[in-house]
Structure 1
Amino acid sequence: MLLCRCLRAAAAAAVPLVAVGRLAFDGSKAGLQSVDKAHVERVIAEATRGSAFYESEQRKAAQRAVKNDALVARQRQFAGLSAAEQQPWHDRAAAAMAALEATRTFSRCFIHVDVDMFYAAVEEKMDPSLRERPFAVGSYAMLATSNYIARRYGVRSGMPGFIAKKLCPALYIRPPQFDLYRREAAVVRALGAHYDPGYVTVGLDELTMDVTDFLRRHPTRTADDVCTEFRRSVEAATQLTCSGGIAHTAAFAKIASNVQKPNGQHTLALRTRRAVLAYVRGMAVREVPGVGSATEQQLRALGIRTCGDLLEHRGELCYLFAEKTFTFYLSAGLGLVRTHVDRTKASHAALHTPLVPPGAAASPRPKSRARQTVAAAAAATISAVDRPPQKSTGKSVTVARGVASCNAFWCHLRRLTEGAHQVLVEQKTGTRHVCFCTTNRAFDHRSHSTTLPHVTDSFEELYAALEKVAQPYASQHRSIRLLGVSFTQLQPIPTRQRTTAATANTAVHRYPRRRRPAAPAPPPQTKTQRSRVKHAARQRSNVPSRSKQRATSKAKTGNH
């Protein structure tokens, strides 16, 4: 028995440590290119091996491998078809390609700006001593970002803090201050509103502007001048540096912003279809916005590593994937990828939403601190009022040690519903589709959705639907480490059908009020005990006893 255990331990020790799934190190972020990837992945694997998260990632990696094997089998099946049998798929791919080519345009000019290590830069601004030491913003559970000194050790955003400490023992982890970050982001957005009032944000630290109309109004200016001016304005107003990218599409502008990081800018001067295809032909698929690790592994299994490969295998991809996925891959191969920015701009046009508040177009670029404050308020107004409504919204909460009680489970659900419902009230939309999701201690993710009979923004109806789908999980509250709710396919609601936010204040589940236990009744006192209590009270108040009072009065009478 002991020999078997020793053999199993030796076999386990002989297995090479490899970081899998989300634990795999991605060195594409700025400041990580010179890091020893093998060393970082070995440290990550050693720190996480045997944990529930590591085992969960291994299970997911195994599941992805099975799916990839099935795709490879279908790829061989397609290769075994005759030319006549393959032709319909090539025809479909050609039709999709023609439809995408019809959308190609070189008439627009986009500038994408990314504030360098935003959270960390704001912290360095508040505490300059941090500039000389490796530090990150976040917690031991997860990091939001790190400065460039820490990145030399392989520390990056999305990495658990305890792993980062193993890579860099001197790392200082600072808790985030999101209110401070939002104020700084508001100043950056205010400056962006001068060039494009309909700018689109990606998080707090990224901004995409369509400066086409601005350049038409100022024919002597160039996009390079505008980007330089904007970056200098941001640095003067916030003491933060940013990197910029200039291109004819939002996707290429984002790609260009990564070329000269940090504190630089790059222009992708692609003016013809041939130039675009030549540029993307050798570009790795991972560089395409929207392509993550799992998609990259899937395409690698099919022998596809570059965007040129996507275009070359278009008939095969049409056979293997659903229409939406295939269209995305084909658009990447053609250099026509649509991003969140394009969809938001399209929503602006479809809804005919006025992007500029009265007088905003004529306002000069803010230069003084007072003007920056006013501009920040204007930007907040633009963001909150004049932007197109969200198509979905959701809230989630992580409870590292599990939900304490069944009552706490319902309280979390109610608060999450209130947060998501507030978005519906603010943008005057409703939904029929609600979803509840959980993640347990084994990192197994479960989600359940339901459809209401009609579109509503009533808190009571939405909460009742979520309460119904969440009911089976209330008894498993101790094993839950994440809860979330979401509303999808949001639709505008007529004024007469809207509810007010006050309905969300209806008490549904609350923590029970803790009452102090009643003191036990004192036992009955004897006559002697009562006299002792009275005597002690007189002594405290310096009042003489009755016997002393009588003796004093007799003495006074005798003297007379």
Structure 2
Amino acid sequence: MSFRRIVHIDMDAFFASVEQRDFPDLRNKPIAVGRAETRGVVAAASYEARRFGVRSAMPSITAKRLCPELIFVPPRFDVYRAISAHIHSIFTRYTPVVQPLALDEAALDLTDHLAPFGSATRIAEHIRAAINAETGLTASAGISYNRFLAKLASDQRKPNGIFVIRPKDGPHFVAALPIDRFHGIGPSTAKRMNALGITNGAELRKAELHTLMQNFGKTALFYHNIARGIDERPVNPNRIRKSLGTEQTYLEDLINLESCTEALEFLARKLWLQAESRNIQARTLTLKIKYANFQQITRARTLSEPFSSAEMCLDAALSQLNPLFPLKTGIRLLGLTLSGFADSSSPQLNLNFS
């Protein structure tokens, strides 16, 4: 049986590492790329900051509380995009089958492109060396026989490491993995799985497919397969993203306009930070609401011109939220999604701050 050779390349604390590279006085210090505003969002954190628990997509006020010495650095997305383009050009020296997943991340299919190196591991080492020599930055690499496992492998030796999950080891590796470390299973889904007694890959493997479908709908088959180390998704160099969204499930239901407005302000800033990083221009914003009784509704607003700020996104979201008050039941989830991308945007980049 033949297996694919997939490499997942993930830059190490990309935005923060660029800032530390360009400004020596920031090196070896805890920094966060973002703005130290009350409703600000951390776009990336240096490894020095991560030791305090600071993470990307965290509210700036929370990050500052965890690390009082944290230094906030305004993002320079034009610089990050230029470096990302250089890094992605390095990938194409080794294979044309490259799927950008973010400015700092990509999947490469080397199955038919191993010559003259002979192995995916050797190619991954050459790529990492080229990135470091040409940009002064480090990258971690994961190698496996499918995209899911290659992504997991890229996290195993961070920063500046490489890890291989071979076909015979894939199912065993997944079995021991905690559910909250599965790529593609977020905190909300992990919590629901925990409630079903599923805390790791072995327990997910034991779950019946029909049980997963009852609880997780169309994504159940994906969960069923990855618990067995199976992922048939191809590396698609022509993938075009049609929307960009973020959402949050709340520990306590939101019951008044003030708390909902505060929650939407954070989501709008987080979404706009992601849109800026991709240089995305979008004309439609969709508000998603899931009530405490699990009823779900969406409301959309389309402008004649693209959204140009977090404040515009927030205004559009509030214009759709306000008519729903007073609430009959609390809100357990809010989400915002941008779509209707303009031709000049780069929607193929699905940024996951890391």
Fold-level match, TM-score > 0.5?
yes
Shift of 1:143: 0.6
Q: Is the 8 A contact 1:256 1:268 kept in 2?
A: yes
Q: CA–CA distance in 2 between the matches of 1:321 and 1:401?
A: 26
1:473 corresponds to: 319
Compared with structure 1, are the counterparts of its residues 247 and 482 closer, same or farther at alpha carbon in structure 2 (3 Å cutoff)? closer
Q: CA–CA distance in 2 between the matches of 1:111 and 1:344?
A: 10
Q: CA–CA distance in 2 between the matches of 1:243 and 1:337?
A: 21
Q: Is the 8 A contact 2:174 2:229 kept in 1?
A: yes
Shift of 1:106: 4.3
Q: Is the 8 A contact 1:201 1:207 kept in 2?
A: yes
Q: CA–CA distance in 2 between the matches of 1:319 and 1:214?
A: 38
Q: Is the 8 A contact 1:115 1:241 kept in 2?
A: yes
1:549 corresponds to: none
Deviations 1:258-286 (A, max 9, x none): 11111110111224xxx433332222222
2:112 corresponds to: 213
Shift of 1:302: 1.0
Identity of aligned residues (%): 29
Confirm or deny that 1:269 pairs with 2:269: no
Q: CA–CA distance in 2 between the matches of 1:276 and 1:402?
A: 40
Compared with structure 1, are the counterparts of its residues 500 and 185 closer, same or farther at alpha carbon in structure 2 (3 Å cutoff)? closer
Q: How does 1:242-391 map to 2 (within 5 A)?
A: 242-271=139-168, 275-314=169-208, 317-318=211-212, 320-321=214-215, 324-337=218-231, 342=233, 345=236, 387-390=238-241
2:21 corresponds to: 125
3-state DSSP class of the match of 1:334?
coil
| Aligned amino acid, residue 327 of structure 1 | L
Q: CA–CA distance in 1 between the matches of 2:287 and 2:195?
A: 31
Shift of 1:394: 5.1
3-state DSSP class of the match of 2:27?
helix
Q: How does 1:497-516 map to 2 (within 5 A)?
A: none
Q: CA–CA distance in 2 between the matches of 1:265 and 1:192?
A: 16
| Aligned amino acid, residue 80 of structure 2 | Y
Shift of 1:296: 1.0
Shift of 1:306: 1.6
Q: CA–CA distance in 2 between the matches of 1:187 and 1:437?
A: 36
1:448 corresponds to: 299
Of the three residues 100, 104, 107, the one matched with 1:201 is: 100
Compared with structure 1, are the counterparts of its residues 188 and 402 closer, same or farther at alpha carbon in structure 2 (3 Å cutoff)? closer
Confirm or deny that 1:419 pairs with 2:281: yes
Q: Is the 8 A contact 1:394 1:487 kept in 2?
A: no
Q: Is the 8 A contact 1:436 1:449 kept in 2?
A: yes
Confirm or deny that 1:237 pairs with 2:134: yes
2:347 corresponds to: none
Q: CA–CA distance in 1 between the matches of 2:182 and 2:335?
A: 30
Confirm or deny that 1:139 pairs with 2:38: no
3-state DSSP class of the match of 2:227?
helix
Q: Is the 8 A contact 2:288 2:335 kept in 1?
A: yes
Compared with structure 1, are the counterparts of its residues 485 and 110 closer, same or farther at alpha carbon in structure 2 (3 Å cutoff)? closer
Q: How many residues align?
A: 290
Shift of 1:201: 1.5
Compared with structure 1, are the counterparts of its residues 106 and 309 closer, same or farther at alpha carbon in structure 2 (3 Å cutoff)? farther
2:53 corresponds to: 154
Compared with structure 1, are the counterparts of its residues 106 and 302 closer, same or farther at alpha carbon in structure 2 (3 Å cutoff)? farther
Shift of 1:122: 0.4
Compared with structure 1, are the counterparts of its residues 319 and 109 closer, same or farther at alpha carbon in structure 2 (3 Å cutoff)? closer
Unaligned runs of 5+ in 2: 247-260, 266-279, 290-295, 308-315, 326-333, 345-354
Shift of 1:148: 1.5
Deviations 1:454-499 (A, max 9, x none): xxxx997x99xxxxxx79927959x9x99754249xxxxxxxxxx9
Confirm or deny that 1:486 pairs with 2:332: no
Shift of 1:331: 0.8
Shift of 1:317: 1.8
Confirm or deny that 1:165 pairs with 2:64: yes
Q: Is the 8 A contact 1:395 1:419 kept in 2?
A: no
| Aligned amino acid, residue 293 of structure 1 | P
Q: CA–CA distance in 2 between the matches of 1:139 and 1:394?
A: 21
Instruction: Work out which structure has the larger RCO, using CA pairs closer than 8 Å and 6 or more positions apart in sequence.
Output: 2
Deviations 1:207-250 (A, max 9, x none): 111111211x32x5322211111101000000001111111111
Q: CA–CA distance in 1 between the matches of 2:317 and 2:135?
A: 48
Q: CA–CA distance in 2 between the matches of 1:330 and 1:230?
A: 33
| Aligned amino acid, residue 256 of structure 1 | A
TM-score w.r.t. the length of structure 1 is 0.46
Shift of 1:448: 1.6
Shift of 1:125: 1.1
Confirm or deny that 1:223 pairs with 2:120: yes
Q: Is the 8 A contact 2:6 2:111 kept in 1?
A: yes
Between Structure 1 and Structure 2, the one with more strand by share is: 2
Compared with structure 1, are the counterparts of its residues 168 and 276 closer, same or farther at alpha carbon in structure 2 (3 Å cutoff)? closer
Q: CA–CA distance in 2 between the matches of 1:334 and 1:243?
A: 25
TM-score w.r.t. the length of structure 2 is 0.70
Q: Is the 8 A contact 2:213 2:221 kept in 1?
A: no
Q: CA–CA distance in 2 between the matches of 1:472 and 1:241?
A: 42
Q: Is the 8 A contact 1:199 1:208 kept in 2?
A: yes
Compared with structure 1, are the counterparts of its residues 253 and 285 closer, same or farther at alpha carbon in structure 2 (3 Å cutoff)? same
Q: Is the 8 A contact 2:7 2:141 kept in 1?
A: yes
| Aligned amino acid, residue 339 of structure 2 | S
Instruction: Give me the CA root mean square deviation.
Output: 3.9
1:356 corresponds to: none
Shift of 1:420: 2.6
Q: Is the 8 A contact 1:124 1:131 kept in 2?
A: yes
Compared with structure 1, are the counterparts of its residues 146 and 483 closer, same or farther at alpha carbon in structure 2 (3 Å cutoff)? closer
Q: CA–CA distance in 2 between the matches of 1:222 and 1:130?
A: 38
Q: CA–CA distance in 2 between the matches of 1:278 and 1:474?
A: 48
2:258 corresponds to: none
Q: CA–CA distance in 1 between the matches of 2:105 and 2:86?
A: 13
Q: CA–CA distance in 1 between the matches of 2:337 and 2:91?
A: 33
| Aligned amino acid, residue 184 of structure 2 | G
Q: CA–CA distance in 1 between the matches of 2:191 and 2:15?
A: 31
Compared with structure 1, are the counterparts of its residues 159 and 318 closer, same or farther at alpha carbon in structure 2 (3 Å cutoff)? closer
Q: Is the 8 A contact 1:106 1:248 kept in 2?
A: no
Of the three residues 280, 287, 293, the one matched with 1:437 is: 287
3-state DSSP class of the match of 1:180?
helix
